[in-house]
Amino acid sequence: MSYVTFDCTQFISFDSDNEADVAASLKEFEVTNHFKVLPKDEILPNKLEHLRHFLHSSVFEIVNQEFIGEFDEWLVREEVPVDILSFSRNIQLFMQNKHVQNATVILVRYANDQKNEDRIFVGEFHKEHILEGLYHASCFGNAGNIVVLKMKSND
């Protein structure tokens, strides 16, 4: 039997040649989405260990315990809840930062202490199609308890 080790959180991970500039651009999540943005040194080690196969050199936790519940309200693909739409726009803006490479967005409904019991969806999406990726976290996309979206650049 497995137990939940952590739940209801989001991460963004990427490589960068100027992390300070990139970190400043993440503040938009705090302003428009009421998330708390935690740098890697403030993230609980068990979370980093659990997700290590999906993480790049820079990692931020984008904390809002209520946000993952918005995906339960996403009943129709074309009728995106406002908070998810706002989140997707912030991801798109973040991806425009010239210092961001290899970005990955991770949505965690819950993480089992026994990793082999996690159902993990991994997909690649262009930033323009992030809503298609995010839909996999909805109860109708039902892709798993952890959704990993690798963001492809247009280059």
106-131 per-position pLDDT tens digit: 999 999 999 999 999 999 999 999 99
Question: Which pTM value belongs to this model?
Answer: 0.93
Mean pLDDT, to the nearest integer, of 35-51? 96
40: nearest Cα among 50, 55, 21, 28: 55
d(Cα 85, Cα 131) in Å, to the nearest integer? 8
Summarize pLDDT for 52-87 with one digit per residue, the tens: 999 999 999 999 999 999 999 898 889 999 999 999
Contact between 9 and 65 (Cβ < 8 Å): yes
**Confidence at residue 1, expressed as pLDDT on a 0 to 100 scale:** 65
Percent of the chain with pLDDT over 70: 96
Evaluate if residue 32 carries a pLDDT over 90.
Answer: no
DSSP strands (E only) in the chain:
4-16, 36-39, 58-63, 100-112, 120-126, 146-152
**Confidence at residue 153, expressed as pLDDT on a 0 to 100 scale:** 72
**Confidence at residue 57, expressed as pLDDT on a 0 to 100 scale:** 93
Summarize pLDDT for 95-109 with one digit per residue, the tens: 998 889 999 999 999
**Confidence at residue 155, expressed as pLDDT on a 0 to 100 scale:** 55
